[in-house]
Structure 1
Amino acid sequence: MSSAAAGTPELGPRTVPPTVETVLGFVNTRADGSGRRELFEDGDAFAAWLAERDEFGGDTVVTDADAAVARELRDALVTVLLAHSGDEETLGEPLQRAERHLRRVGSLYPLATVVTAGGVELASPQAGVPRVFGTLLAAVTTFAQSSDWGRIKACRNPPCHFGFFDRTRNGAGLYCSTGCGSQVSMRKHRQRQRQGSGTPAEA
C-alpha cells in the first residue's frame, strides 16, 4: 500500500464542529510556498482577516505587534497539530516549546464560564485583540475536551502543513488532500531509487 493510500483512508460520516472551523480558520493563514499568502503579515492584513470573521467580533483595531503575536500563537498551534499527525520533526523540543508558549498565552487571555439554562460555554471577557485570542483559546479548549481532539491535524507534507479535521473512520489521515499524500509518496519513491542506484540526493 502506498503512503498516499495509508494517509488518506476512507472518510467517515463525521462533521466539522464550529469550534474546529474557528481553529482551522486561524491556523490556515500562513504562507506555504505553494500559492497561499501570509494573512497575518502586519496589522493591516490581520485587521482585514478579522473583518471577515464574525466569530472573532468582526472589525478590530490591531497593530503590527498584534499580528506578530497572532503569528506566534498560530505557529504554536500548527506544531501541536503536526504532532497529532505524528510528524517526527515536530516531536520533542519543538512540541515542548509550542506547549510552553501556549501555556503562557493561556495565562494572558483567561476565559470566563458562561452558564445558561441551555448549557455552559467558555467565552473571553476581554475586548479588542485580547478577545480575539481568547475566543480562539475558548474554541480550542471546548473541542479539546472531546475524544476527537487528536483529529485536528496539520498536513505532514512540507511545506503545506495545512490544518484539517481528520474525518477518516480510524483517525489515520496524515495529509490534507490526496494530492499532498501523492507528493510525499513520490518523494519517498524517488529517494529509494537514488539510494538504490547510489545517486546522491538532490539539494
Structure 2
Amino acid sequence: MESPATPHPLSLIEEFINTRGPDADGLSTRQQLQAWLAGRDLAPAGVTVDEAGLTRATSVREGLRALIAENNAPPVDSPRPDDLDPHARSDLAGLVAELPLVLDIGGPAPRLVPRPGLSVVDAALATLVAAVPPAVADGTWTRLKACREPSCRWAFYDHSRNRSRSWCSMGLCGNRAKGRAFYHRNQ
C-alpha cells in the first residue's frame, strides 16, 4: 500500500532535505541547485546560482534537517555516525535572519512571502522557511521527521494516527536498528 503524500508545502521541505542522502548529495553543484529550484517553480529556468547561494542553500537544508530531527525520538545506538551537524540549528537561525519575510495581505488569505529584492536563491530559501510557521500552527510540522537511523536521517512525513513512526522505512532502517538491538541483548 502506498503511503499518502506529504502535504504541500511541507513536501517541498521534505524533498529539499532529501536532496542529501546517505550515499549522495543532490545539491553538490550550482547546476544541481539551479535545476532543483527551477523544477519546483521556486526559481525561473536558467537562473544563475553562485557559490555563496549554494553554500546558503546547503546550510538551510541541514538546519531544516536538524529541526525535523527534534520531531522524532533520539537516534538509536549505532556504530554508524550520526551525520547531523551539531551546529546546523543555530546556523539556520542566523541564516533565516538574512532571509526576511513580509506579510502579504494582497491575496485571499494573509501569508508570509520573501521580501522583495532578495536574490533568486534567497527568495526560494525564504519561501521554504515560510512554510514552517503555518505547519507549526496547523499541527503538521511535528509529523515531518528525520529517520532515527543515524547514518540515514532521511526526511519523512509521519502519517500514523498516533504520530509514532520512527523510521523512514521499517523494512530497511527499522530492521537494521532492531537487528543491532537484538544482537547486543544476546551478547
TM-score of Structure 1 vs Structure 2, range by shorter chain: 0.7 to 0.9
Larger Rg: 1
Correspondence for 2:179 = 186
Q: Contact (CA 8 Å) 1:44, 1:63: kept in 2 or not?
A: no
Alignment pair present for 1:57 and 2:43: yes
Give the equivalent residue in structure 2 for 1:154.
146
Amino acid at match of 1:153: K
Runs of 4+ displaced beyond 6 Å: none
Deviation, 1:156, is 0.9
- SS at the partner of 2:124? helix
Q: Which residue of 1 aligns with 2:129?
A: 137
Q: Give the equivalent residue in structure 2 for 1:83.
A: 70
Deviates more, 1:72-81 or 1:140-149: 140-149
- The 1:139–1:58 alpha-carbon spacing in structure 2 relative to 1, beyond 3 Å, is farther
- State the secondary structure of the residue aligned to 1:49: helix
| SS of alignment partner, residue 169 of structure 1 | coil
SS at match of 1:84: coil
Checking the alignment, whether the CA contact within 8 Å between 1:85 and 1:174 is kept in structure 2 is yes
Aligned to 1:73: 60
CA RMSD of aligned residues (A): 2.4
Report sequence identity in percent: 27
TM-score between both structures, scaled by the size of structure 2? 0.83
Q: In structure 2, give the amino acid aligned to 1:175.
A: W
User: Which amino acid is 2:55 matched to?
Assistant: A
Distance 1:155 1:88 in 2: 8
Query: Which gives a bigger RCO, structure 1 or 2 (Cα 8 Å, sep 6+)?
Result: 1
Alignment length (residue pairs): 175
Unaligned stretches of 5+ in structure 2?
77-81
Distance 2:44 2:150 in 1: 32
Cα 1:136–1:168, aligned 2, differ >3 Å: closer, same or farther? same
| Contact 1:124/1:135 (<8 A) preserved | yes
- Residue 115 of structure 1 is matched in structure 2 by 105
2:30 to 34, 43, 49: 43
More helix, by proportion: 1
Task: Determine the C-alpha separation between the residues in 1 that align with 2:51 and 2:94.
Answer: 20
